[in-house]
Structure 1
Amino acid sequence: MSDFPRFPSDFHWGVATSAFQIEGSTGADGRQPSIWDSFTARPGAIRDGHTADVTCDHYRRYGEDVELLSRLGVDTYRFSIAWPRVISANGQVNSSGLDFYDRLVDALTAADIAPMPTLFHWDLPQSLQDAGGWRNRDTASRFADYTAAAVDRIGDRVDTWITLNEPFEHMALGHALGLHAPGETLMLDALPVAHHQLLAHGLAVSALRAAGAPAVLLTNSYSPAEPATDGEADQMAAAIYDTLHRRLFTDPVLLGRYPDLSAFGVDTDFVHDGDLALISAPLDGLGVNYYNPTRLAAAPEDAPLPFEMVPIDGVPHTDFDWPVIPDGLTRTLVGLRDTYGDQLPPLWITENGCSYGTGPDASGRVADIERIDYLDAHIRAVATAIDAGVDVRGYLVWTLTDNFEWAEGYHQRFGLVHFDVDSGERTPKDSFAYYRDLIADQRQ
């Protein structure tokens, strides 16, 4: 890799996963149901009726997965803690559920891999959903209680915490469009869900700081909003989408204020005095999840949203039909720096990856050249941003193993390791070897 850009010597390399997608053991050791357990039980909600009852069986086979991480050579592992494992339906701490994360963190630290837990990766306890879920302001307080329990148990071995993962997607896909759990179709009336998640983030930051957590991040998804044409209407549609996707979840955190939401025609009485001061507590980093840009056009007059997404043609697409545009990652990072200036903390690429269904050939090899090309181009895009002066501290591939890909079940495969759904067998792909060798080369 002699032609590959050199990253700073203290740059972090890792992978990311989430609890519901890999753990399985959904009824073990006092875990209560989550909204995703309920959603997967709905007929037609998940492609081909797949469930995450077993998935990668990480709950029982975490030792094998830590060994894979060690072989890969990463120094950072971002995983999520399952809120329904840690807190019982009556609100009490479930020590048996915390025991699992104790074991996992011990295994990681023994392998010299820094644990980077995410506290909320979409698996809200069903008991809280029954009480109103993220439309209920009290859920933010319950999140703070859960955070305190988690940091009390494993905080002595964790340097960096992430509060929320992709609150935009959880609001939009889960509460506006009904495509993800909890399956609500509130459209723009889902905006209180955004605020209550951000309030939960702010309360969690306070709980983590009180417990002495060295570093706290928030992870947002970012997708450059591109107008379909140079026309004024399409440009306005792109600006409105950018407000909803990027600024709604970044401005309050970094600037202490919401962007102008008048285009959405909703009352913001869900914002109470003092909320923004909590939400804008200083962070030690901002997580960036990037997959592709979004192209927007003006919506028809009677449309429920003031924009319309249109395909991006003329570029390769993944098996998920997502356009492959590495330059969008550079533009995302530089754009955050240019927009937020001194208010922007250091950045982490907390997710970047692609779905390709390449499986083992007759010899057992998984020659996923498309994923290698994707990762190579996107890691170079990060290097370009660093060269432009953006402070990026780490890059985490999504994901370690193929797993339960939400509403797509097991049909979309993002892993560096092939996972056989029937046998549970794990087979490192060629992309695993590529990333392993890149990391080793960067450390020379």
Structure 2
Amino acid sequence: MERSGVSRRALGALALGGAAMGLSGCEGAHQTDLTPKSRQFPKDFVWGVATAAFQTEGAQAVDGRGPSVWDVFEKVPGHVKDGSDATVATDSYRRFQDDVDLIAGAGLGAYRFSISWSRVLPTGQGAVNPAGLDHYSKLVDALLAKGITPYATLFHWDLPQGLQGMGGWANRDTALRFADYARAVVEKLGDRLKNWIILNEAAVHAVFGHVLGEHAPGLKDINLLGKVVHHMNLGQGLAMQALRAGASGLNVGTTMALQPCRPAGGPLAIWNRLASDGLDALWNKAWLDPLFRGTYPKEMDDFLKGVVRDGDLKTVKQPIDFLGVNYYAPAYVRLDLNSPSKIAQANPPEGAELDAFGRHIDPSGLFEVLDRVRREYGAPRMLVTENGCSDPFGTGPAILKDDFRIVYLRRHLQAVLAAREAGCDVRGYFEWTLIDNFEWDLGYTSKFGLVAMDRATGVRTPKASYAWFKALAETGLLPAT
């Protein structure tokens, strides 16, 4: 896989054989949108923004925080596109009140953030670090004081390096330590923090971090895949049990990076359909099936030999109060007999509208994944926990008149309305993200924020999309244009 342009949002280009990204912006040839009958969201619909600890907090060596796998990964030359790191990021550990004020200023009722495991348990296990927990306690209190509902993600890819040194997610013991971590956090915050997301985009972390080596911990060993997938699913189940044992009145869910997996050449391309079905099993079903059905898809059998123990799948299949869905693009794949996985990336259809990553901008894909969950997995409550659009890649300043982002958000929100009208129980939408941040292996070359930040001065400047999203959150009425 080519290093340049690969990130967690390169979902549409995932291929265990290779991928290449383009550099266009979010605009392009118009594509027909889904048209809902009504453009009005219900009054209780949740409007929010989503962030992640490693991408925003900075303060990596402050108040007893231990290193994570991303602290190590980002320091290796060539791992981050612009050679940058997240030692400052958006300085949100220190400036969290400024973030809260921006969220309140946009009239948003919810904030999705993640908790840094290594702030709470610096080595991933052992004694709790009180200063780390105190930070999140202050953040929760600041949000509640402004009438903003906190949604906390327990794991957004930043595994403590101490646990990675013992095998990381390939080691079954990490699932047990994850439950200990959940227990420590809910004991401190469970009286006020009621909405919990267990894992963020586990498929991305498993594949990009352990097979492709493009993300931390930077491993390239397909033999780890079954262990990592199962232990993350097992850890999720154990963490859900720990949360519910630790506090009452919680809403517990998890977030998945769901995407349609489409064969190059269309559904009649039989050989490529084999590849797209294989990717679907790994990317979507290996996480949905265990959670909702207590089984794995048969395509995972070879990877999971000797990994799953008696009783594990009962633990994995926990009731959830909501499913978080992250969506950016569909994947196009083809059969490649020269690839170890037999799966390779294919280009989007000719003339398709592309984003900054070279992925197909296709709001119908969001409808597709939401409706699939409704049809195949018992119609659970859902939240769109991430969706958004980057500026064209570059090291220059952000685009403040970001009309392309407004168009992108509007069209995807039309798909959400259409999904609701089709019977999908979608209760909220979190835009990615609040402030232009450290975008993993892309560093600061990719900008998703509603707010720009001058990295030299720290000055935050709302973009046009910030005002647009504010107006939407206040009325719930999606503009037609």
Provide the TM-score with structure 1 as the length reference: 0.95
Whether 2:135 is the aligned partner of 1:93: answer: no
**Which of 399, 405, 416 is the equivalent residue of 1:382?**
416
What amino acid sits opposite 1:128 in the alignment?
A: L
- In 2, the alpha carbon distance for the partners of 1:160 and 1:139 equals 23
Cα distance in 1 between the residues matched to 2:358 and 2:277: 24
Deviations 1:271-314 (A, max 9, x none): 01111111101110111000000011111x23111211112142
CA distance in 2, matches of 1:365, 1:139: 42
1:206 maps to which residue?
241
Residue equivalent to 2:368:
331
Deviation at 1:422, TM superposition (A): 1.8
> Cα distance, 1:266 vs. partner?
3.0
Aligned equivalents of 2:75 and 2:297: distance in 1? 38
* Residue aligning to 1:19: 53
Per-residue deviation, 1:48:
2.3
Once residues 358 and 304 of structure 1 are traced to their aligned partners in structure 2, the CA distance between those partners, rounded to angstroms, is: 31
Q: Indicate the larger mover: 117-126 or 266-275.
A: 266-275
1:271 matched residue in structure 2: 308
1:28 aligns with 2:55: no
Counterpart of 1:103, as a letter, is K
1:8 aligns to what SS in structure 2? coil
C-alpha distance in 2, partners of 1:88/1:368?
39
When residues 289 and 56 of structure 1 are mapped into structure 2, their CA distance, relative to the original with a 3 A threshold, is: same
Provide the identity percentage.
45
2:251 alignment counterpart: 215
Equivalent in the alignment of 1:307: 343
1:188 to partner: Cα distance:
5.0
Work out whether residues 240 and 306 of structure 1, in 8 Å CA contact, stay in contact via their aligned partners in 2: no
Residue 161 in 1 paired to residue 207 in 2? Answer: no
Residues 97-116 of structure 1: pairs in structure 2 closer than 5 A: 97-116=132-151
- Which has the larger helix fraction? 1
**Aligned equivalent of 2:429, options 395, 399, 403:** 395
Q: Counterparts of 1:391 and 1:435 in 2: how far apart (Å)?
A: 22
* Alpha-carbon distance, 1:154 to partner: 1.0
Give the alignment partner of residue 227 of structure 1, picking from 259, 263, 283: 263
Q: What is the DSSP-based 3-state SS (H/G/I as helix, E as strand, rest coil) of the residue aligned with 1:15?
A: strand
Instruction: Report the AA paired with residue 239 of structure 1.
Output: D
- Report the Cα offset of residue 68 of structure 1: 0.1
The one-letter amino acid of 2:317's match is: S
Q: Matched residues in 2 for 1:234 and 1:172: separation?
A: 20
**1:295–1:365 Cα change, 3 Å:** closer
Partner residue of 2:219?
A: 184
The corresponding residue for 2:320 is: 283
- Conserved? CA contact 1:227–1:238, under 8 Å: yes
Answer yes or no: is the 8 Å Cα contact 2:263–2:273 preserved in 1.
yes
Q: Give, in whole Å, the separation in 1 of the partners of 2:439 and 2:122.
A: 26
Provide the rounded CA distance (Å) in 2 between the counterparts of 1:420 and 1:186. 39
Segments of structure 1 that go 5 or more residues without pairing to the other structure are none
What displacement does 1:420 show? Answer: 1.5
Between 419-428 and 250-259, the greater mean CA deviation after superposition: 419-428
Could you tell me whether the CA contact under 8 Å between 1:76 and 1:113 is conserved in 2? yes
Q: Give the letter aligned to residue 247 of structure 1.
A: K
Q: Deviation of residue 213 (structure 1)?
A: 4.8
Deviates more, 1:243-252 or 1:232-241: 232-241
Aligned to 1:424: 458
SS of the residue corresponding to residue 190 of structure 2 reads: helix
- C-alpha separation in 1, matches of 2:371 and 2:97: 38
Partner of 1:57: 91
Runs of 4+ in structure 1 off by over 4 angstroms are none
**How far does residue 4 in structure 1 lie from its aligned partner after superposition?**
6.8
Q: Which amino acid is 1:339 matched to?
A: E
Q: Is the 8 A contact 1:320 1:412 kept in 2?
A: no
Q: Distance in 2 between matches of 1:54 and 1:357?
A: 23
Counterpart for residue 285 of structure 2: 247
Deviation at 1:104, TM superposition (A): 0.4
Q: How many residues align?
A: 437
Query: Matches of 1:39 and 1:6 in 2, distance apart?
Result: 44
Does the aligned pair in 2 maintain the 1:187–1:304 contact within 8 Å? no
* CA-to-aligned-CA distance 1:114-151 (integer Å, 9 cap, x gap): 00000000000000000110000000111111101111
Deviation at 1:322, TM superposition (A): 2.4
Candidates 324, 330, 335, aligned match of 1:298: 335
- Name the CA distance, whole Å, in 2 between partners of 1:358 and 1:73: 29
Coordinate RMSD, CA, aligned? 2.0
Paired residues of 1:148 and 1:207 also in contact (CA < 8 A): yes
Q: Structure 1 pair 170/261, CA: closer, same or farther in 2 (3 Å)?
A: same
Secondary structure at 1:349 match in 2? strand
- Name the CA distance, whole Å, in 1 between partners of 2:354 and 2:312: 41
Whole-angstrom CA distance in 2 between matches of 1:303 and 1:248: 21
Alignment partner of 1:150 out of 185, 197, 210: 185
Cα pair 2:279 2:343 within 8 Å, conserved: yes
- 1:18-51 CA-to-partner distances (Å, cap 9, x unmatched) read 0000000000000000000000111111112110
* Conserved? CA contact 1:358–1:367, under 8 Å: no
Give yes or no for contact 1:365–1:430 (8 Å, CA) kept in 2.
no
- 1:195 matched to 2:230: yes
SS in 2 for 1:288: strand
Identify the structure with bigger relative contact order (alpha carbons < 8 Å, sequence gap 6+).
2
Shift of 1:412: 0.4
Q: More deviation in 105-114 or 433-442?
A: 433-442
C-alpha contact (below 8 Å) 2:225/2:303 kept by paired residues: no
- Is 1:66 the counterpart of 2:81? The answer is no
Residue 102 of structure 1 aligns with an amino acid whose one-letter code is: S
| Cα displacement string for residues 90-111 of structure 1 (whole angstroms, at most 9, x for unaligned residues) | 6210000111101100000000
